[in-house]
Amino acid sequence: MSTIAVEIVSAEEAIWSGSGTMVYAPAEMGEVGIAPQHAPLLTRLKPGEVRVQQENGEEQFFYVSGGLLEIQPHVVTVLSDTALRAADLDEAKAQEAIKQAERDLQEKTSEMELAKAKAELVQAVAQLRAVEKLRKTAR
Amino acid sequence: MAGAKEIRTKIKSIQNTQKITSAMEMVAASKMRRAQERMRAARPYAESVRRVMAHVRLARLEYRHVYSIEREVSSVGYIIISSDRGLCGGLNINLFRSALESISEWDEKGVSTKFGIIGNKGLGFFRRFGGNILCQATHLGDAPQISELIGAIKVMLDAYEEEKIDRLYLVSNSFVNTMTQSPQIEQILPIKGVELEEKLPEYWDYLYEPESHVVVDALMLRYIESIIYQAVVENIACEQSARMVAMKSATDNAGNLIDELQLIYNKARQAAITQEISEIVGGAAAV
């Protein structure tokens, strides 16, 4: 029986790799069953279950929370997401990253003001000392 | 025996410092091992995404993604990956130096720069430097998750899509071995050609579900995220090994210092004893 290589990976670790006679995956447009020599296909995955039927009749199950599926005639690649993904969720995260940067910028201005004030203070003290010295020598 | 007591306290304090640095060395060594494992664990995904990307670029696809189109450069973006903590030798400074070199090259051409900073040290440096920081991600810890990086990455990608930046570089340390880490600057956008070893037939295309651009967009995003995640994980391995080396040399230096001080202490003690004896002998002779 012919088999197809299967690789299931997530960004943080490799989950499984091996070969199977049939692979089922929850594609966005509905579940797909992949036999060896399937036509090249690229699709997104929904959260669900990836099943791999192995040659010895055993079945492997994996839960994916979404991701991408690539099919080449000789290999199936499942790029599983580890993070929960949604357009608005990504947007919220981006906003947070921007806000953080802006907030720090404001802090920076206050820090800068502090530094400036300190420098001015040092100058004033030095002037004061100079004046005192002048007075002493004048006496 | 004037100086002896001070020398003894000094030796004591250096010994305490030495204890701390040697403890830090051991902690860094064990963290390094784990960081290296994580680095290895992230590799299969990076390779798979890369392979799929290469396939897609070979496919006869009409849709040209904005990430793969070169345009004239009027502003460049840098994603700079640094460590959150210090005490790791020249790791961050070397990285910033090579980044600054590249920045000043662009500066001479009149190109402005924008930054996305990952890691506390980089943030501090580029704030002092006065860079235009678009976004940041800090305090990722020893085991960063990709979800913590998504926000910062998206800001930079959005900036690219809105043509606020025309190129995106990634500046990070690459892990050569435990003793050596070297800073590297890599162009992320526009995406450069991805090499592929295997041969594929020349005329073919994928079936795309639902639409080619939706799927390719999702793939591009994951491809870039995986590059950056990989770099972050690698940088942590670099940080730990740099720290281990730095702490080892600090411990050795403390040991040398203690040896020297011990010698001085012994001499001072001996001198004091000699003096005392000669005083006693002198006193006895006078009687």
3-state class of B89 per DSSP?
coil
Q: What is residue A1's predicted lDDT score, i.e. its pLDDT?
A: 66
Q: What is residue A85's predicted lDDT score, i.e. its pLDDT?
A: 63
For A104, nearest residue in chain B (alpha carbons)? B127
Q: What is residue B263's predicted lDDT score, i.e. its pLDDT?
A: 94
- pLDDT, one tens digit per residue, over B164-201 is 999 999 999 999 988 899 999 999 888 876 666 666 66
Percent of chain B with pLDDT over 70: 95
Q: Judge whether residue B246 has pLDDT over 80.
A: yes
CA distance B212 to B197: 24
Instruction: Give the DSSP H or E segment for A39.
Output: none
Q: What is residue A60's predicted lDDT score, i.e. its pLDDT?
A: 86
Q: What is residue B184's predicted lDDT score, i.e. its pLDDT?
A: 93
Residues of B in contact with A25 (CB under 8 A): none
Q: What is residue B260's predicted lDDT score, i.e. its pLDDT?
A: 93
Q: What is residue B8's predicted lDDT score, i.e. its pLDDT?
A: 92
CA distance B12 to B15: 5
Q: What is residue B201's predicted lDDT score, i.e. its pLDDT?
A: 63
Residue B46 contacts residue B146 (beta carbons within 8 Å) = no
Band of pLDDT at residue B259, cut at 50, 70 and 90: very high
Burial of residue B102 (CB within 10 Å: 0-12, 13-18, 19+) is: middle
Alpha-carbon gap: B249 to the closest alpha carbon of chain A (Å)? 33
Task: Give backbone dihedrals phi and psi of B38, rounded to 5 degrees, phi first.
Answer: -65, -40
In the CATH hierarchy, which top-level class contains the domain B2-25+245-275? mainly alpha
Alpha-carbon gap: B62 to the closest alpha carbon of chain A (Å)? 15
- pLDDT, one tens digit per residue, over B29-69 is 999 999 999 999 988 998 888 888 888 877 766 777 888 88
Which superfamily is assigned to B27-244 in CATH? ATP synthase, F1 complex, gamma subunit (3.40.1380.10)
Instruction: Tell if the CB–CB gap between B210 and A29 is shorter than 8 Å.
Output: yes
Q: What is the mean pLDDT of residues B81-109?
A: 92
Q: Please list the residues that pair with A33 across neighbouring strands.
A: A24
Alpha-carbon gap: A3 to the closest alpha carbon of chain B (Å)? 19
What DSSP state is assigned to residue B68?
Answer: G
Which residues in B82-138 belong to E strands, given as ranges? 112-118, 133-137
Q: What is residue A76's predicted lDDT score, i.e. its pLDDT?
A: 92
Predicted TM-score (pTM) of this structure: 0.81
- B99 compared with B207, residue with greater pLDDT: B99
Q: What is the mean pLDDT of residues B102-123?
A: 92
Residue B227 contacts residue B188 (beta carbons within 8 Å) = yes
Instruction: Tell if the CB–CB gap between A101 and B133 is shorter than 8 Å.
Output: yes
Q: What is residue A124's predicted lDDT score, i.e. its pLDDT?
A: 67
Instruction: Tell if the CB–CB gap between A40 and B219 is shorter than 8 Å.
Output: no
CATH 3.40.1380.10: which residues of chain B?
27-244
| Option in B48, B151, B205 nearest A94 (CB) | B151
Q: What is residue B33's predicted lDDT score, i.e. its pLDDT?
A: 92
Q: What is the mean pLDDT of residues B205-212?
A: 82
For chain A, which ranges sit under pLDDT 50? none
Residue B203 contacts residue B61 (beta carbons within 8 Å) = no
Residue B177 contacts residue B242 (beta carbons within 8 Å) = no
CATH 1.10.287.80: which residues of chain B?
2-25+245-275
Mutate to test the interface with B, among A6, A12, A76 (most CBs of B within 10 A): A12
Alpha-carbon gap: A113 to the closest alpha carbon of chain B (Å)? 14
Percent of chain B with pLDDT over 90: 56
